[in-house]
Structure 1
Amino acid sequence: MPLRPLGLGEILDGSVRAVRANPMVMFGLAAMVVTVAVALQTLLQLYVAGLLAGALGDALVGVDGTTDAAAVSEVFSLSLAGTASGPLLLPVSSVLTGLLIVSVSRSVLGRRVSMREVVRSPRVWWVLGFTLLVLLAQVVLAAAWVGLSVLLFAQQQEGAAFAVVLVGALLLAAAFAWLTVRTLLVPPALMLEGKPFWATVARAWRLTRGSFWRLLGIYLLASVLVAVVGSLFVFPASLLSGVVLGMTGSTSLTIVLTAVGTIVGMTISTSFLAAVVALLYVDVRMRREGLDLELARAASEP
């Protein structure tokens, strides 16, 4: 990596180079953690889908116009089970991102870190805790928006209710984007700086001042790229699972096929996005604090 402020192309290219520089950690560790998490999610999804399929099948038996209650219940149970088990992957992705940031930070200096060193980083639990705090804040905002909308509809104020739904959705999306960018550098700061929790969070928050739009643009572009690449694996798996469901009616096989695509897509996306976030952190500090001089000195040391 050039030890100077980085451009867009250098950050994206550097993220790929960071993954290739230490594939055992960036891909190996990511694949192991994601596989375990998706396996647990798949087991939960199979269990929930089985419960929902029976309940929905019984509920649809006597409904007029329902020609195939079993098929309808299978489709709905898969969707509901996937939604219910989806949040299980969020803390896993958070922990994995924190661990991979350590590897990227060493790659900037042209060094490699072993998997044992990475997994022994205790500050990763701070990253998980902060992620859950941000998620809680987002849930509270979303709950307030939904609650106000439902209250207006209940009071038969349809005009105000629709206005709250539309304007609130836009404001909520803007608030989530703003919060995501302002907290984007918190995970690398927590992993790489040996300061107390709240002091590190406040410092990372200050680092994003004056760089909001640049951070938003680069992170959004990186997210779109990994979404496109991930869909190359997830979409065929979902398509194949749909065919299998139609031919065999096997919910279990459908969920397993979808899980395989999720493992590959999530491994690639988590590795690349972790590298992008780490390099954005390094880039902002080089621009504002002259970190490039410190890194140059560190790179010349044995």
Structure 2
Amino acid sequence: MPKAVVCRELGPPERLQLENFASAPLKPGEVRVAIRAAGINFPDILMAAGEYQLKPPLPFTPGSEASGDVVEVNEAAGVAVGDKVIVKMRFGAYCDETVATPSQLVPVPSTFDYAEGSTFLAAHGTAYHALIDRGQIKPGEVLLVHGAGGGVGLAAVEIGKLLGATVIAAASSEEKLAIAKARGADHLVLYAREPFRDAVKRLTDGRGADVVFDPVGGEVFENSMRCINWGARILVIGFTGGIGLARTNLLMIKGASVLGVRAGEAVRKDPALGEVRIKALSEWAEAGKVRPNISHRLPLEDFAKAMRLLIERKAIGRVALMM
């Protein structure tokens, strides 16, 4: 029987359980995908703890992205048995198999393996939406990427360079910064070495960053307002480091904007955005211009350990569960 990670009680990853489940029959228009890998994202952890904006009814299976092979099709146009696909979902990815509709499927780039396919669209899709749709970054502008050793941060480094920005990568360790440099970062800032706001001013001759990509929040967000250029856009990706408070006087003086980034919700409001985004990301992937950095690949039964790698900031880039 197939297995799934099941949340029956909200809390830390250790409260989740690996359980057998019966395969559901397919309705017309549905396909069955044998899952080969699932990506770990921070919202999965928040959702299992009851701290995310989406709160599925219990019990549920966490996980918003996976990749695998189509093994059964019931009158679903455009899909065939044997297709290697990425599966997009709001939850349900930590399992051996899933039922999906064609609209949830995207071909795995030919340059990717299953783990890379399962860790691609959430992070790179968020970075794309943030920098292009929200931040409208321009060639030659300075992009400050916080948490540049994380999955979404590294994606922002890659895409920022593709778009012609000068990228300043900030992270908590030399090891993470080395990966950011390999992905194209122009300048590296180690948080413990000097206050990042001083480093950004030094690197920009006092001008500051034009765009700030911030998945951290808290004091990082608050200090980012002190190293921005005129007309800067601060992109709020997440708040793994706490909720930051916006000092409106600093924003006013710099003519700056603070923009919330919700890549998935934006597509639910305007599906055309998603089509453009996936086309661009797929083309970049096929051309070898973007690729997830996966620091850990663990078996499904080690789901709690895999989630802990994100909680404890031990991952560099992405973590994948392998089935």
Same fold (TM over 0.5): no
TM-score between both structures, scaled by the size of structure 1 = 0.24
Higher relative contact order (CA 8 A, sep 6+): 1
Bigger CA radius of gyration: 1
Q: TM-score, normalised on structure 2?
A: 0.23
